[in-house]
Amino acid sequence: MILKVNNLNKSFGGKRVLKDISFGLKTGEILAIIGPSGAGKTTLLRCINGLEKADKGTIVIDNIYLCKDQNNKNIPAKSKEMKKIRQKVGMVFQNYNLFPHMTVMENLIEAPINVLGLSKEEALNRAYDLLKNLGMEDKKDAYPFQLSGGQKQRVAIARALCLNPKILSLDEPTSALDPELREGIASIIKKLADKDMGILIISHDMEIVKRVATRIIFMAEGRIIKEATKEDFFNSFEDGRLKSFMVS
């Protein structure tokens, strides 16, 4: 398992947003986390990426503890371990979060230089190769405002991949994209999984889930309601047993 989550809990202002969440992720697997708005999906992803601190529970990434329970407290990773973890997990945000004052290339080389310690030349070479693989090399000197939604999404994926992560997390990767662009993003995701990367996807787009997921977790009200292979999940969903939860 490249990722293990056990008994994870998180509250905001006294409201429990995550309730005893447990699951794992293997290399080469595409795990879709779906459910209605407010189910806790994005909070879960942010905890796994170290952007939110869990109240209770354990997260292990590539055999390194991001957090664990000890003496009735949740202990986060120390700075040395956290630096290693940040190299292993990439995140693509729903709104891309590209730096508006930086060119595409500048967005891509920021983390490899400051997190991985690559030289500028090494970072530029890595970034250019990724842009070329995503068909974006001609946009390397463009600014985010000059890009379409699909182009921004591919740049955001390239930026996450510049760290060569073991896990890639994507929050609503196809939101606001037309069908042709959604198909392009789906192809990219499947190719990454084929290279033994573990993929986590949050999505309301059931077509993209059917297209790429190997396994599905359905969340509602902060809990995992069902975890199954894609085939078993959609058989259950089509039987009507889960549709009552699917309220956006």
Average the pLDDT over each of 11-15, 42-46, 186-190, 211-215 and give the range with the smallest value: 186-190
What is the third-level CATH fold of 3-97+167-245? Rossmann fold (3.40.50)
Residue 92, both tokens: 């693509």
Q: What is the pLDDT of residue 247?
A: 44
Q: Is the pTM of this model over 0.75?
A: yes
In the sheet that 15-25 helps form, which strands lie side by side, from edge to edge?
A: 15-25, 3-12, 56-61, 64-70, 73-76
Q: What is the pLDDT of residue 245?
A: 52
Rounded to the nearest integer, the mean pLDDT of the chain is 91
Q: At 130, is the secondary structure helix, strand, or coil?
A: helix
Question: What's the DSSP call for residue 61?
Answer: E
What is the pLDDT averaged over residues 139-162? 92
Q: What is the pLDDT of residue 248?
A: 42
The domain ranges of the chain are 3-97+167-245
For residues 86 and 113, give the distance between their C-alpha atoms in angstroms, rounded to a whole number: 13
**pLDDT exceeds 90 at position 242:** no
Long-range contacts of 142-147 (CB under 8 A, 24+ apart): 142/103, 142/104, 143/100, 143/101, 143/102, 143/103, 143/104, 144/96, 144/98, 144/99, 144/100, 144/104, 144/107, 145/100, 147/104
pLDDT tens for residues 85-104? Answer: 988 999 998 888 999 999 99
What is the pLDDT averaged over residues 169-195? 85
**pLDDT exceeds 80 at position 166:** yes
